[in-house]
Copies of this chain bind each other. A is one copy, B any other.
């Protein structure tokens, strides 16, 4: 993964440098948090990639729960409890699940409680011949998430009709000492704990993400290695030129001060749409408060050039764009040398990658000609290591951005506003 911003943001280097410099004290604080290795500070999610106790706990439970015939891992969680896991799953497998009906295990994500989904997922899972084909991972920091408990109660009750002892195919992931933790102990359900200080949107590298991913066969060592390396780059390096999180946060801040209120993540890798959605929560919840905030959007290239491309190139100059694309050929597919239809002759014999690359380059030139600022993130490949790098880069970027915008990056007080009203209605 690399990050580039030079000469494409409409900002002067010295502006970015001056803004970056104001983050010096906060960067020192991040270094202190890393040296502590514990989970006391609000930023302590940065200690997850090197937490070996965490890794051991996850690996032991994976060993206990994995079976030869595992078909479905059902992740019940919403927001920070599933967005990171889904981002990584979709990037490597999930986006292709319909095209690979025989590849297992598959992950099924239940986030909001949707009546039609539930009416279809129950028969699917009930059609399994053994409970060892299933593993349910219910994830909630507090245990009090309405959607998560609705899905868990319905699924658990329905499945127990066919599999009376389904409890040993259920794992809870929750805060230590939460009601959900106590309930797990009471019912003999295996549990993984997450540090209280680590909020949902910073939790992908905790047991929240590691357990279901490792159970599905993902290489979590590589994921952690990528994150640990990027943490050292983004959390320690002094100069913004060498520190992508600091540079990116400074650019987002400076351009938002100019009135650009949208950060479009224009991703030319359709399998990373869920990664974009993970980032939406990260940015939305971290810096969207006190009347401040930047609205994160996700666009998919080249698809959305045929959708919102007109608006982006011809509409208001209200966006800060982050292009995300592959720098290398991910596999060898090419267009035939002999075209059957020959309606676009220029594609003859070309690699699919080189056509996509031409579209990315063409789009960047068009943005530059229209004076629309952008940054770039290039992926050499899409594997656990590169994804770990990206996730850690963006989480630290958001810590810097929160500092620059003078908000508390780690709270989400306004979420209570609708929850309180909803609770009143449900209790009526």
Does the CB pair B426–A112 fall under 8 Å? no
List B contacts of A99 (CB < 8 A): 108, 117, 120-121, 124
Does the CB pair B414–A309 fall under 8 Å? yes
Is A83 on the interface with B (CB-CB < 8 A)?
yes
Is A339 on the interface with B (CB-CB < 8 A)?
yes
A304 to B187, CA, bound (A): 31
Does the CB pair B340–A153 fall under 8 Å? yes
Distance to closest chain B CB from A305 (angstroms): 6
A341 to B120, CA, bound (A): 23
Does the CB pair B306–A281 fall under 8 Å? yes
List B contacts of A291 (CB < 8 A): 314-317
Is A244 on the interface with B (CB-CB < 8 A)?
no
Is A353 on the interface with B (CB-CB < 8 A)?
yes
A287 to B316, CA, bound (A): 11
Distance to closest chain B CB from A219 (angstroms): 18
Q: Contacts A144-B343, A355-B113, A414-B310 given: A315-B333 contact, CB under 8 Å?
A: no
Is A169 on the interface with B (CB-CB < 8 A)?
no
The stretch among A13-21, A28-36, A416-424 that forms the contact with chain B is A416-424
- Among B306, B318, B336, which residue has its beta carbon within 8 angstroms of that of A295? B318
Does the CB pair B414–A344 fall under 8 Å? no
Is A50 on the interface with B (CB-CB < 8 A)?
no
Does the CB pair A116–B96 fall under 8 Å? yes
List B contacts of A370 (CB < 8 A): 414, 417
Residue of B nearest to A157 (CB): B336
Does the CB pair A115–B353 fall under 8 Å? yes
Distance to closest chain B CB from A86 (angstroms): 11
- Among B124, B149, B316, B351, which residue has its beta carbon within 8 angstroms of that of A100? B124
Is A301 on the interface with B (CB-CB < 8 A)?
yes
Interface size class of A (residues with CB under 8 A): 35 or more
Distance to closest chain B CB from A54 (angstroms): 24
List B contacts of A306 (CB < 8 A): 78-80, 111, 147, 200, 281, 415
Distance to closest chain B CB from A76 (angstroms): 11
Does the CB pair A293–B311 fall under 8 Å? yes
List B contacts of A38 (CB < 8 A): none
Does the CB pair A426–B285 fall under 8 Å? no
Does the CB pair B314–A288 fall under 8 Å? yes
Contact mask for chain A residues 291-321; partner B; CB cutoff 8 A; 1 contact, 0 none: 1110111001111111111111111111100
Residue of B nearest to A368 (CB): B421
Is A150 on the interface with B (CB-CB < 8 A)?
yes
A288 to B370, CA, bound (A): 14
Does the CB pair B308–A296 fall under 8 Å? yes
Is A225 on the interface with B (CB-CB < 8 A)?
no
Residue of B nearest to A189 (CB): B341
List B contacts of A300 (CB < 8 A): 112
List B contacts of A366 (CB < 8 A): 417-418, 421
Contact mask for chain A residues 399-428; partner B; CB cutoff 8 A; 1 contact, 0 none: 000000000000011110111111111110
Does the CB pair A153–B336 fall under 8 Å? yes
Is A363 on the interface with B (CB-CB < 8 A)?
yes
Is A195 on the interface with B (CB-CB < 8 A)?
no
Q: Contacts A112-B302, A271-B116, A344-B149 given: A313-B414 contact, CB under 8 Å?
A: yes
Contact mask for chain A residues 227-258; partner B; CB cutoff 8 A; 1 contact, 0 none: 00000000000000000000000000000000
Does the CB pair A289–B314 fall under 8 Å? yes
Is A114 on the interface with B (CB-CB < 8 A)?
yes
Is A327 on the interface with B (CB-CB < 8 A)?
no
Distance to closest chain B CB from A174 (angstroms): 10
Is A25 on the interface with B (CB-CB < 8 A)?
no
Q: List 16 A-B contacts (CB under 8 A).
A: A78-B303, A99-B124, A101-B124, A112-B302, A114-B269, A114-B352, A146-B347, A149-B341, A149-B347, A277-B307, A284-B312, A288-B308, A310-B413, A314-B414, A359-B418, A363-B421
Question: A180-B341, A309-B418 provided; 5 other pairs, C-beta below 8 A?
Answer: A150-B355, A281-B307, A285-B311, A290-B314, A291-B316
Q: Which 3 A-B pairs have the closest CB atoms?
A: A288-B311, A79-B306, A362-B422
